[in-house]
Amino acid sequence: MSSSCGRTGANRRTFLLSLTTLMLGSKNAFPQTQKDETIRFGLTPVFLNDDVQLLSAITTYLEGATGYKIDLITRRTYQEVTSLLVSGQLDAAWICGYPFVKYRSELELVAVPLWNGKPLYQSYLIAKSDRDASRLSDLRGDIHAFSDPDSNSGYLVTVALVNENGFGRETFFKKTLFTYSHRNVIRAVASGLVQSGSVDGYVWEVMREIDPDLVARTKIVRKSEWFGFPPIATSKRFAQTDQIKALKRALLASSDTDAGRAMLDYLRLSGFAVADTSLFDLVSQKIESLRGVL
């Protein structure tokens, strides 16, 4: 009897140990399976990311074209999204040229959007439409709105321009603030909350189409030189994964299908292209010109 009980106890212990091992193994494997079937795609306010229909169009196209579930992850600031990307918590993200250059050694380009057929855009200095302002010097002493401290068009370009003219941001403008959205820069200028602002020219032009009454209350004071359009990037360690290869193929082929064209129409883009990092050399020059200032 005792021998039978011993064998039964041993068998029970063996069964429980095996079950526990199986459960722990499954627990560890499940997130990996989910991760392998998902592309975690980060979005910043670099474009119009508060439009539910737009986000739906992006998800619909990319899921169909890649075969992966698309998990769109949005954050308020460029820094938050860039940190997630560099740390490997995102597979890819649509970021700005400024953080791409800052983390160039850790990031790799996936694709660059084409606006009006080119991978380029400008920074705009804007003011209220009824204001007598036509050059940078007219904005001296303003309360000025920037979009984000990690934005090329919404911060870096203007700070570099002011510096080239012998001023610092704090001495040229009376006061500055960050709105953390290019759309909000336009709103702040249009409402009179601030006297001028630095904004992504692509966003201003798209907003002029979709919200003409708002944008009509602002005007362009100055357009910058042309910069590489905010890119889709990935961490170098993920660059050769199946997810990133699928995402790249999908973006490059987006103009070939109805779902892809629907996404591009919402974004007011022509498509996506492969680009060399030299596209962002001008951003690098702006950063270098502000060494010791930023």
Gyration radius from the chain CA atoms: 24
pLDDT in tens, 70-104: 999 999 899 999 999 999 999 999 999 999 999 99
Is 123-224 the same fold as 37-118+230-279? yes
Fold of 123-224: D-Maltodextrin-Binding Protein; domain 2 (3.40.190)
pLDDT in tens, 8-50: 444 444 433 343 333 333 333 333 333 579 999 999 865 554 5
What does each C-alpha distance from 95 to 141, 177, 288 come to in angstroms? 31, 21, 20
The CA distance from 201 to 220, in Å, is 9
pLDDT in tens, 255-267: 999 999 999 999 9
Rounded to 5 degrees, φ, ψ at 200 are: -65, 120
b/e string for 41-79 if b means 16 or more Cβ within 10 A?
A: bbbbbbbbbeeeebbebbbebbbebbebebebbebebbe
The domain covering 37-118+230-279 belongs, at the CATH homologous superfamily level, to: Periplasmic binding protein-like II (3.40.190.10)
DSSP symbols for 67-134: SSEEEEEE-SSHHHHHHHHHTTS-SEEE--HHHHHHTTTTEEEEEEEEBTTBSEE-EEEEEETTS---
Kindly report the pTM of this predicted structure: 0.86
Rounded to 5 degrees, φ, ψ at 172 are: -80, -45
The domain limits of the chain are 37-118+230-279, 123-224
What does each C-alpha distance from 171 to 95, 168, 175, 199 come to in angstroms? 30, 5, 9, 20
The CA distance from 231 to 93, in Å, is 8
Confidence of residue 292 (pLDDT cuts 50, 70, 90): confident
pLDDT in tens, 50-79: 578 888 999 999 999 999 999 999 998 999
Nearest alpha-carbon partner for 259 in 247, 250, 268, 248: 250
